[in-house]
Amino acid sequence: MRPYHKIPIVECGEPLVEIPLELFAVESPHPYEKLGAPYGDRSPYFLRQSVVDSLIAAQENLQLLHPDWNLQIFDAYRPVAVQKFMVNYAFGEALQMAGLTEAELSPDKSQAIWEEVYKIWAEPSLDEKTPPPHSTGAAVDVTLVDDAGEIVEMGSPIDEMSERSHPDYFANSSDPLAQQHHTNRQLLCNVMEKAGFQRNPREWWHFSLGDQMWAWLNNETNPTHPVIARYGRVV
């Protein structure tokens, strides 16, 4: 259980709709589809209607500051089957980084690696009360692309399983390059938050609007105006 799972969900029934990709930069082919993630007849480039509207607003916020920059959409809707696939993939990556095979794993070492995986990845839960954020159609992973079409340097890649993924990792560094990374992360956060999104405290790239994490983060900072989640898992 994550802290945000205590937030109740009252599903509003808003549909998943296609993101107008012509308005954004997009990684192509989709990074998880390249790995073989089982989307079936589903597309990763869908979100709830209001979330799409807010994503467009965030893009407009960015372009008020940098007219020729764009949000780049890395990932959006993620069926639970894809969540499970990516969690298992991340576990395999962590094993490889540790120079281990599953046959060599002790129960304690296996548990430690799973704990590292779940610091970044939500569990692929089928419980309607604890959906993975991306499976609600209310979460999106984004970064920035500059006027030359280059991805803006954030100091770590999306999905990296390390403390560098924490949004404020570079905040107190005296190194000028690290400070630029922090400035870039804050720019992304500012344009997204101005459009109503909340940022995952562990991931500089993950933003949501209307799901349990969004409601929990809102309630942590605005306890006198609590909200509940309006988006549950999309089957």
pLDDT at residue 132 above 90? Answer: yes
- DSSP category for residue 134: G
Task: Give the pLDDT of residue 138.
Answer: 98
What are the C-alpha distances in Å from 213 to residues 4, 57, 141, 174, 199?
A: 5, 20, 14, 32, 9
Instruction: Express each pLDDT in 30-63 by its tens digit.
Output: 999 999 999 998 899 999 999 999 999 999 999 9
d(CA 62, CA 184): 12
Average pLDDT, the chain: 96
Segment 7-37, tens digit of pLDDT: 999 999 999 999 999 999 998 889 999 999 9
pTM (2 d.p.): 0.95
d(CA 29, CA 180): 29
Q: Which of 66-75, 90-99, 100-109, 204-213 is least confident? A: 100-109
Q: Beta strands 139-145 and 25-26: pairing type? A: unpaired
Compute the distance between CA of residue 129 and CA of residue 131 in angstroms, rounded to an integer: 6
pLDDT at 36: 96
The ranges assigned to domains in the chain are: 3-87+127-221
Enumerate the active-site residues: 203
Tell me which of 1.10.357.10, 3.10.180.10, 3.30.70.20, 3.30.1380.10 is the CATH number of domain 3-87+127-221.
Answer: 3.30.1380.10
List, in order, residues 6 or more apart from 11 with CB less than 8 Å away: 230, 231, 232
For position 235, what pLDDT does the model report?
A: 81
